[in-house]
Structure 1
Amino acid sequence: MAHTPHYRPCDMVKDIASDYGVLVPYHQAWSGRELAVRDLHGDVRISYDMLRWYSERVMETNPGSIIDMVVDEKTHRFKSYFMCFAVWAYGYEVGCRPLIFLDGSHITDKMQGVILAASALNGNDELFTIAFTIADLETYENWKWFLHNLKKDLLSERPTVFISDRAKGLKEAVPEIFPMDHHGYCLRHIKANFMIGAAARYQKSP
């Protein structure tokens, strides 16, 4: 499993049948894979429980970092976590152009959720992480919360250009938190969304 992290239970069933002539039910293969992943990487739920400990260590070793964690008041379950190391904020201010890319990516493990991130380009045109959030959903409320924390990280008030794919909530949240800055849209995503929308309208047309 350590060398084949994407080894699927269905592949395990086929390989065991081919190598040993034993037919293993799918649910047993799935359970075995889950145990192997847990032994190698630990329990995902325990990792979330360790966020408070991790935050304390970060503040000890990198003072000035911005960390914020939200827990649902009713269920007491994890909702979102914001992280920006002090060195990230400093690196952006002294080594990057005032151009920030905003994007979200879905987490595919059993806990699900999304990663919301702000990145820039350094002097070598390489992606430079400024801050990220782990959240339950990609929503207007979570993007607004993320941008509010991001604004606290920025060490200066130089004019900034934000680039995004107009994901859920971003179109409204950016001008609300950064009303004096510019917000542009990624051309590749605009083109892709246009093609998808055009195809859907074509299929609906008589």
Structure 2
Amino acid sequence: MPGTVAVLRTSPVRIGAQLDESQAYFHRLFWTFSPCIEAFHHCKPLVSIDGTHLYGKYEKTLLVAIAQDGNSNILPVAFALVEGENAESWAFFLSYLREHVTLQPGLLVISDRHNGIKAALEAPNRGWLPPSVYRIFCIRHVAANFALAFKGKDARRLLMNAVYAKTEVEFHYWFDILRSNDPAMCDWANRIEYSLWTQHCDEGRRFGHMTTNISECVNSILKGVRNLPVCSLVKATYGRLAELFVRKGREAEAQQGTGQQFSQHLVKCIDKRNLACRFRIQR
């Protein structure tokens, strides 16, 4: 397909102390398709990144970057096959993701707290530092780490209430309750910058996204192809994306044909707010 970006990296073959220049091993592969690159310009300025292990004969890791449009449609925008999740492999993936797909400033990246991701995003001159790009943590991973240190469902529930608080007043209300239960819980949470894990400090960048669920959703969709050879795996991503674009294109044309000006998700939100306003007026 014209506009497809594919970056292949190989590693040399060694025979004893000598390099065999006539052969090379597969090492890493980054790829994205032109429709994905174009579609991302019309999505939220947010990308969720995650990795999933392949199984079977090929012991590699699949890295994915996922976006979402204004109608809550999930869109995979880039992929990479790497040897595992480490600083070098994440730097490989993120450098080409930034170069070819996520060019716009003010982007938000949501991920888990993997040290490899941290190192790749914080590297200078890579384009992933504020104000060009901001980073936040997946709350589910933060809560899982918290639960390892502090047992009990109540502790986790109180933390999640503070996480999802939309105002500073509401956040401190739940945080004070957490402190009254165990000050060590607050000390643990305070070691993480608030903008990385609380909703009230996100400055509107999250669009309500608190987890990497949209990435993990795609991982489950690709589950049936994660034991395939490299070429077959790449072809599978192309085929499934082609089906997705055709189906969503037809849906969009049908909506435009009925005279709809806004996406279905926005229309539902407007209707819900109008209903709530009418209910308040009647009361």
* TM-score of the two chains, using structure 1 as the length reference: 0.62
Which deviations, in whole Å up to 9, do the C-alpha atoms of 1:117-152 show, x marking residues without a partner? 111112221221010101111110000010111011
How far apart, in 1, do the equivalents of 2:101 and 2:149 lie? Answer: 36
Q: Which has the higher contact order (CA 8 A, sep 6+)?
A: 2
- Answering whether residue 62 of structure 2 is matched by residue 115 of structure 1, we say yes
- Taking the TM superposition and a 5 Å limit, the aligned residue runs for 1:100-139 are 100-139=47-86
Shift of 1:91: 0.4
Shift of 1:88: 0.4
Alignment check: 8 A CA contact 1:118 1:132 kept: yes
**2:36 corresponds to:** 88
Distance change >3 Å, CA 129–CA 182, structure 1 → 2: same
**2:119 corresponds to:** 172
Of 176, 191, 194 in structure 1, the residue corresponding to residue 146 of structure 2 is 194
Alignment check: 8 A CA contact 1:119 1:128 kept: yes
The CA RMSD over aligned residues, in Å, is: 1.6
Alignment check: 8 A CA contact 1:90 1:155 kept: no
- Answering whether residue 27 of structure 2 is matched by residue 79 of structure 1, we say yes
Classify the secondary structure of the residue corresponding to 1:87.
helix
Unaligned runs of 5+ in 2: 15-23, 152-283
**1:18 corresponds to:** none
Of 68, 76, 92 in structure 2, the residue corresponding to residue 145 of structure 1 is 92
Which deviations, in whole Å up to 9, do the C-alpha atoms of 1:3-43 show, x marking residues without a partner? xxxxxxxxxxxxxxxxxxxxxxxxxxxxxxxxxxxxxxxxx
How far apart, in 1, do the equivalents of 2:54 and 2:102 lie? Answer: 30
Classify the secondary structure of the residue corresponding to 2:63.
strand
Classify the secondary structure of the residue corresponding to 1:74.
strand
Of 109, 120, 139 in structure 2, the residue corresponding to residue 162 of structure 1 is 109
How far apart, in 1, do the equivalents of 2:25 and 2:62 lie? Answer: 17
Classify the secondary structure of the residue corresponding to 1:158.
coil
Classify the secondary structure of the residue corresponding to 2:56.
coil
Alignment check: 8 A CA contact 1:97 1:120 kept: yes
Unaligned runs of 5+ in 1: 1-61, 200-206
Moved more, 151-160 or 76-85: 151-160
Distance change >3 Å, CA 156–CA 150, structure 1 → 2: closer
Classify the secondary structure of the residue corresponding to 2:41.
helix
Sequence identity percentage:
28
**2:6 corresponds to:** 67
Shift of 1:197: 4.4
Alignment check: 8 A CA contact 1:175 1:183 kept: no
Distance change >3 Å, CA 105–CA 155, structure 1 → 2: closer
- The code of the aligned residue for 1:191 comes to A
Which deviations, in whole Å up to 9, do the C-alpha atoms of 1:40-80 show, x marking residues without a partner? xxxxxxxxxxxxxxxxxxxxxx2222110111123521111
- The code of the aligned residue for 1:182 comes to Y
How far apart, in 1, do the equivalents of 2:31 and 2:4 lie? Answer: 8
Distance change >3 Å, CA 71–CA 198, structure 1 → 2: farther
Shift of 1:109: 1.6
**2:154 corresponds to:** none
Alignment check: 8 A CA contact 2:77 2:101 kept: no
How far apart, in 1, do the equivalents of 2:144 and 2:102 lie? Answer: 35
State the number of aligned residues: 137
Shift of 1:198: 4.5
Shift of 1:156: 3.9
**2:156 corresponds to:** none
